[in-house]
Amino acid sequence: ADLDTPRLKAALRRHLPPVDVELRLGRVGTFGAPARTSVVWLGVDGDLDGLRGLHERANAAVEEALGLPFDEGRFTPHITLARVRNRVTAADRRAIADHVRSLPPPDPEPFVAREALLIRSHLGPGGARYEVLDRYS
């Protein structure tokens, strides 16, 4: 959808800073039942209260700028690693989920997130393309 990007950028500038959250990578997992695996993700652990606060401030900015209601859904911090295309069979989806479950967790070395990005996704048949619209620190 076309959104009022200048208003959103301004609201995020007011609500987001400062960004300073200590995090670490969590386990690898999938969304969806094994036969319907749709996403492979990497969990995020660490200062989840700080990350949740950042999420709430971003939602407040979206509500202020665009009039969209606050996202009260379950907060599941993660990094999307891959999306499984629609044409992939249930058996292959199960195999993906089984393989992901067998992966060891990543190195738990902490890092500090000091910047948040406003990103526009351009979805197409060849996959997604991402465009950074603004940065907040």
Q: How far apart are CA 79 and CA 58, in angstroms?
A: 17
Q: What are the tens digits of pLDDT across the range 66-110?
A: 988 877 778 889 999 999 988 999 999 999 999 999 999 888 899
Query: Do residues 44 and 131 lie in contact, with contact meaning Cβ atoms separated by under 8 Å?
Result: no
116 token code pair: 């948040």
Helix (H) or strand (E) holding 39: strand 39-46
Q: How far apart are CA 50 and CA 70, in angstroms?
A: 18
Q: How far apart are CA 46 and CA 48, in angstroms?
A: 6
Q: How far apart are CA 113 and CA 119, in angstroms?
A: 16
Of 41, 30, 50, give the one whose Cα is nearest residue 97: 30
Q: How far apart are CA 116 and CA 136, in angstroms?
A: 5
What CATH homologous superfamily does 5-136 map to?
Cyclic phosphodiesterase (3.90.1140.10)
Q: What is the pTM of this model?
A: 0.81
Q: How far apart are CA 46 and CA 78, in angstroms?
A: 12
Q: What are the tens digits of pLDDT across the range 21-59?
A: 999 999 999 999 999 999 999 999 999 999 999 999 999
